[in-house]
Chains A and B, each alone.
Chain A
Amino acid sequence: MKETTDANEAALLQDARKRLETFAKERGNLIPILQMVQEKLAYLPSPALAMVAEYLGMTASDVYGVATFYNQFRFQPPGRNPIKVCLGTACYVKGGDIILENFERKLKIREGDTTPDREFSVERVACVGCCALAPVAVAGETLHGHMQPSKVEGLVLRIRMETQKKEKEADEKSNSD
């Protein structure tokens, strides 16, 4: 399993390398380039940073320094089901931190981490802009408003079941083919 992900990643990195050529070799393009690479790979592994540094003629530490400054860039692969808990002011006042804590407890990871099976990742985000629904959590693309600590377990369970169902269907399909 791990080998296939690595091979997959290497291919994506190759892709990103090709896309690099469309950018002029100017420092001003550093952030747009990092955004492009992250869009391809979902995160910035160190080979990617080294590649960007080489292309722009910068040191890897310089690139790393810029990348870590901004919240957008991540250095760990996200889970297949990324969970974002809003901790904007309105959500915080309505108990968003308790929701975050519940996710951390249920998934046994800390905020910013990914579960070992890469199924889930949990992060805190600043205001997703639907303060009237506070507290809010975003699972994948779906937004869940008026969250409650007791809803967390159900949500995680539901996502797990849906994934299993999809896997099963995919299995059956490949078997019948």
Chain B
Amino acid sequence: MKKATPINKDIPEQAYDRIYKQAMQRQEAFLSVPGPRIHIGTATCGIAAGALETRSAFEEALAQRNIDAQIHTVGCFGHCYAEPVVIIDHPDSGFPPIFYPEVTSAKAKMLTTLFLQEGDPRFEHILGATVANEMIPSIMDFARFNQEKRVVMEKCGQIDPENIDEYIASDGYSALAKSLQRDSVEIIDLVKKSGLRGRGGAGFPTGLKWEFTQNEQDNETIVVCNADEGDPGAYMDRTILESNPHQILEGMVICGYATGARRGIIYVRAEYPLAVKLVTHAVEQARAYSILGQSVLNTDFAFDIEIFQGSGAFVCGEETALIRSMEGHRGAPRYRPPYPAQKGLHNLPTVINNVKTFACIAPIVNKGAQWFRTIGTKQSPGTAIFSVVGSVVHAGLVEIPMGVTLRTLIFDICGGIPDNKQFKAVQIGGPSGGCLPAEFLDTPIDFDSLTEAGAMMGSGGMVVMDEDSCMVDVARFFLDFTQKESCGKCTFCRIGTHQLLNILARLTRGEGREGDIDLLDDFSVDIKNGSLCGLGKTAPNPVLTSLRYFKDEYIAHINEKCCPGMACRTLTAFYIELDQCARGCDLCEACCPVEAVFTTSNRKKGIDQALCVKCGECQVACPPDYDAVRKVSPAALVPVIEHTG
């Protein structure tokens, strides 16, 4: 068994003490500057919503009015519905730090004048105060905040991801210092006892994985962090890398120490330019602080991390494919065993863990295995992070203890379905997961319960769908994705997904045939059995679950050429109810991108079905008072309106 050489306990502790004191001094210097502080979330999602414009608006307004305030850029809070998020801490005003949602540049200028200068916090724009107080309700009074349990994302949105001192000042890297004083076997034991399961989706016990590499004698181990997030609806790995990269580095160094590795690699998607930049920066800072390099915290343990940019292939989330791609080949998975823990990159034992798994390590070392076990369920301790999107009021990243039910997550924490619509299904786990109907809302969220229901934890993507979604079309969407992303190695996956997609595409076009449902079922089972890796084995899940729970929709598509969700465009049509279109306005005609709307002789409108692309713009444009545009399925129900004049 490989064991790290015993280390003089004082060395890492002293080294850590030094950098901690230094960080604290800088932190105190920052905090002792009088005047207001403005925290702006500037991860990709915030930037997308305009956080950079907001920041320059603040800078400009502050300069104009000669106000001394510090702007502090932080990572992402996870509250995407509220982006750009700004927290203003203005002690002189007498108010506690206040959380403002949707701060556009205009709002930034307004707040600078009215709040920072005149002391009026503008209550109508406030979401809440970040601490309990007697003037403003605290954000912790809302379910979206108080029902979360943050372990991985604890510091996300609190600290500046580009400043290592802020991480250290909040006890960052103390777990590393503690780990270096222990025996490597002890650390693996601790991770095993915590019951931590791989957060990449499959849920393999992390401690066991680490132990496997330890059993591989002589050979040097490589630690790989899998940040190749490929699910088209999940982005938590990116957010964590952009908001708190050091927590991942810390987990990797501890893993390196426990498994006897000298080399760590972060495999991050090149499509995440900001994450790549911030992680690279974090690695440089960690080197400068001797947290990485020839002697980690002055001990004789050497460990360094490099960044490998993945080129965007969903299958590379599979560990053997990921290794192939790092070796400069097409990312095709191979048969296991040997597992990467035995023979991985360049045939060396390789530990591959997900971003969230590494992020769990430092809290476990700091607070103990028992503490971790108190969160979540017995079989799945800890928390789960979901990106909850789609038809839901408070979309964004949510970290909850395992075992919370879907109902709590969707309705209590995320505010339910907007626009008074009905909940129809929730798609969990992206292209590998499945759609669960309302009956499953009381399913607890953990690795095993979700798999039992036919979905899976997978990437943590969660798309909530209301009554306007078509399950057949959603299945087609995911199959279209997996079909394109199949590496082509296994015949069943390569050709099977193609055939599945063809059938589903036919159904959504109203060309379904009798026997299609059985065919879908047969193919799905065959693909599951005949594929080597997780991609093929799970690709039919969206079809299988929607067939199981929404069979009536498939039957409607085949027998009646009708799409109950009115989403399949070939099966739906728009027309204008002449009785209600009586005012001679031109809104629908003006907004139509293909000029399909025409005016009849009595100044009412009609839609030329041959030209219409069914984008639904006219329905949006039609004033609610008239509400004259109708959507029907099947398309044959549309009344004929003649061009006259």
Taking Cβ atoms with an 8 Å cutoff, the residues of A that contact B are 26-32, 34-35, 65-66, 69-73, 87-90, 92-95, 98, 101-102, 105-106, 125-134, 136, 143, 145, 148-150, 152-153
The docked-state distance in angstroms from the alpha carbon of A29 to that of B395 is 39
Knowing A129-B44, A129-B48 touch, does A66 contact B313 (C-beta < 8 A)?
no
Which residue, of B48, B231, B329, B387, has the highest number of chain A Cβ atoms within 10 A? B48
Query: Is B430 among interface residues, defined by CB-CB distance under 8 A?
Result: yes
Nearest CB in chain A: distance from B293 CB, A: 21
Residues in B neighbouring A133, C-beta threshold 8 A: 48-49
The segment from B65-73, B233-241, B281-289, B442-450 that touches chain A is B233-241
A38 shortest CB reach to chain B, Å: 9
- 10 closest A-B pairs (Cβ-Cβ)? A89-B233, A70-B311, A131-B389, A30-B328, A71-B312, A126-B232, A27-B328, A130-B48, A72-B311, A90-B389
Whole-angstrom CA separation of A26 from B469 in the bound complex: 49
Shortest Cβ gap from A135 to chain B (Å):
11
A90 to B477, CA, bound (A): 11
Q: What per-residue 1/0 map shows which CB atoms of B470-502 lie under 8 Å from chain A? A: 000010011001000001000000000000000
Cα A66 to Cα B331 in complex, Å, equals: 8
Closest approach, in angstroms, between the C-beta of B434 and any C-beta of chain A?
13
A65: contacting residue among B234, B330, B391, B461, CB under 8 A: B330
* Distance in angstroms between the alpha carbons of A150 and B44 in the assembled complex: 27
Query: Could you show 24 A-B contacts with beta carbons less than 8 Å apart?
Result: A26-B328, A28-B326, A31-B328, A34-B311, A65-B330, A66-B328, A72-B312, A88-B233, A89-B389, A90-B395, A93-B469, A94-B390, A95-B615, A125-B271, A126-B230, A127-B231, A129-B45, A129-B48, A129-B238, A132-B49, A133-B48, A143-B49, A149-B616, A150-B593
Q: Are B238 and A130 in contact (CB under 8 A)?
A: no
Q: Once the chains bind, are B235 and A93 in contact (CB under 8 Å)?
A: no
List residues of B (370-412) whose CB comes within 8 Å of A's CBs. 387, 389-391, 395-396
Q: Kindly state the separation between the CA atoms of A71 and B481 in the bound complex, as whole angstroms.
A: 12
**Additional 9 contacts, C-beta under 8 A, given A72-B270, A93-B474, A98-B613:** A26-B328, A28-B346, A70-B331, A72-B312, A73-B311, A105-B613, A131-B80, A131-B233, A145-B49
Please give, as numbers and ranges, the residues of chain B lying within 8 Å of A92 by CB-CB distance.
Answer: 232, 477
Quick check: is B81 within 8 A (CB to CB) of the other chain? yes
Contact of A31 among B230, B238, B325, B387 (CB under 8 A): B325
**Number of contact residues on B: which range applies?**
35 or more
Q: Inside 8 A of B311's CB, which chain A residues have their CB?
A: 31, 34-35, 70-73
CB neighbours (8 Å) of A152 from chain B are 593
Residues of B within 8 A of A35 (CB): 270, 309, 311
Whether a CB of chain A sits under 8 angstroms from the CB of B463 is: yes
Q: For A27, A106, A130, which residue has the most chain B Cβ atoms within 10 angstroms? A: A130
A152-B591 Cα distance, complex, nearest whole Å: 11
Interface presence of B465 (CB below 8 A): yes
Is B313 a contact of A28 with CB atoms below 8 Å?
no
Closest to A26 in B: B328
Instruction: Tell me the nearest residue of chain A to B485, going by C-beta.
Output: A71
Which A residues lie within 8 Å of B235 (CB)? 127, 129, 131
**CB of A120 to closest CB in B, whole Å:** 17
Residues on the B chain within 8 Å of A88, using CB: 232-233
A105 pairs with B233, CB closer than 8 A: no
B591 contacts across to A, CB distance below 8 A: 150
Within 8 A of A (CB), among B578-604: 591-594
Give the chain B neighbours of A148 by CB distance below 8 A. Answer: 617, 620
Using known A-B contacts A28-B328, A132-B81, determine if residue A89 contacts B427 with beta carbons closer than 8 Å. yes
Closest partner residue, chain B, to A73 (CB atom): B311
A34's closest neighbor in chain B, by CB?
B311
Report whether A127 and B48 are in contact in the complex, using a CB–CB cutoff of 8 Å: no
Whether A130 contacts B83 by the Cβ 8 Å rule is yes
Closest A residue to B312 by CB, please name it: A71
A69–B593 contact, CB under 8 A?
Answer: no
Measured in the bound complex, the distance between the Cα atoms of B328 and A28 in whole Å is 4
Q: Are A89 and B477 in contact (CB under 8 A)?
A: yes
Taking CB atoms and an 8 Å cut-off, the chain B residues in 289-344 that contact chain A are 308-309, 311-313, 325-331
Cα–Cα distance between A149 and B231 once the two chains are bound (Å): 26
Q: Which residue of B lies closest to A56 (CB)?
A: B328
Q: How far is the CA of A143 from the CA of B592 in the complex (A)?
A: 23
Interface centre among A90, A128, A134 (most CB of B within 10 A): A90
Chain A residues with CB under 8 A of B331: 69-70
Task: Name the CB-closest residue of B to A136.
Answer: B48
In Å, the complex CA distance between A88 and B45 comes to 14
Shortest distance in angstroms between B265's beta carbon and chain A's nearest beta carbon?
11
Asked if B48 contacts A145 (CB within 8 A), the reply is: yes
Also in contact, A89 and B390, with CB within 8 A (given A35-B270, A131-B395): yes
- Binary A-proximity of B609-643 (CB < 8 A = 1, otherwise 0): 00001111100110000000000000000000000
A105 to B331, CA, bound (A): 35
Q: What are the residues of chain A within 8 A of B313 when measuring CB–CB?
A: 69-71
Closest chain-B Cβ to A24's Cβ sits at a distance in Å of 12
Contact of B465 among A70, A93, A106, A128 (CB under 8 A): A93
Report A-chain residues with C-beta under 8 Å of the C-beta of B430: 89
Give bound CA distance, A72 to B269, whole Å. 9
